Amino acid sequence: GESVGLHLPTLSVQEGDNSIINCAYSNSASDYFIWYKQESGKGPQFIIDIRSNMDKRQGQRVTVLLNKTVKHLSLQIAATQPGDSAVYFCAETLYGQNFVFGPGTRLSVLP
């Protein structure tokens, strides 16, 4: 598969536990944020998004929290499964243009 990042921060969690992946974004004016999942050999896959007028959004097994005061995003994955193992990226944008991606975090789910 493709090598997404050789020295990414890694989060290891036990199967069934909850995972929290953090991201610091750079532009306080950014109005839209997305979390992506990238598996080896594939392009990033949309997980969940949030607009700047919200501080929390829930999806299926995932929750995104936005703290604009400290420019921080987090992705919470409930009941983590082996299929969740991947690299996770946050992305920020203003007016849907010039998406800026974070460096990524590798999630490793232990059996």
Partner 1 sequence: KAGVTQTPRYLIKTRGQQVTLSCSPISGHRSVSWYQQTPGQGLQFLFEYFSETQRNKGNFPGRFSGRQFSNSRSEMNVSTLELGDSALYLCASSLEDTGGEQYFGPGTRLTVT
Question: Binding-site residue total for partner 1 (CB under 8 A)?
Answer: 31
How far is Cα 18 from Cα 62, in angstroms, rounded to an integer? 10
The contact pattern for partner 1, residues 9-48, with x = CB under 8 A and - = no contact, is ----------------------xx-x-x----xxxxxx--
Using CB under 8 A as the binding rule, whether residue 78 contacts partner 1 is answered as no
Q: Is the dihedral of CA 46, 16, 106, 103 positive or negative?
A: positive
54 versus 79: smaller Cβ distance to partner 1: 54
Residues 7, 53, 60, 69: which binds partner 1 (CB under 8 A)?
A: 7
Q: What amino acid occupies position 52?
A: S
96 touching partner 1, by CB under 8 A = yes
Q: Which two tokens mark 18?
A: 């909850």
> At closest approach, how far in Å is the CB of 27 from partner 1?
13
Return all residues near 106 (Cβ < 8 A) that are at least 6 apart. 4, 5, 8, 9, 10, 11, 86, 87, 88
CA distance 111 to 109: 7
Chain contacts with partner 1 (rule: CB under 8 A): 2-7, 31-32, 34, 36, 41-46, 49, 51, 89, 91, 93, 95-104
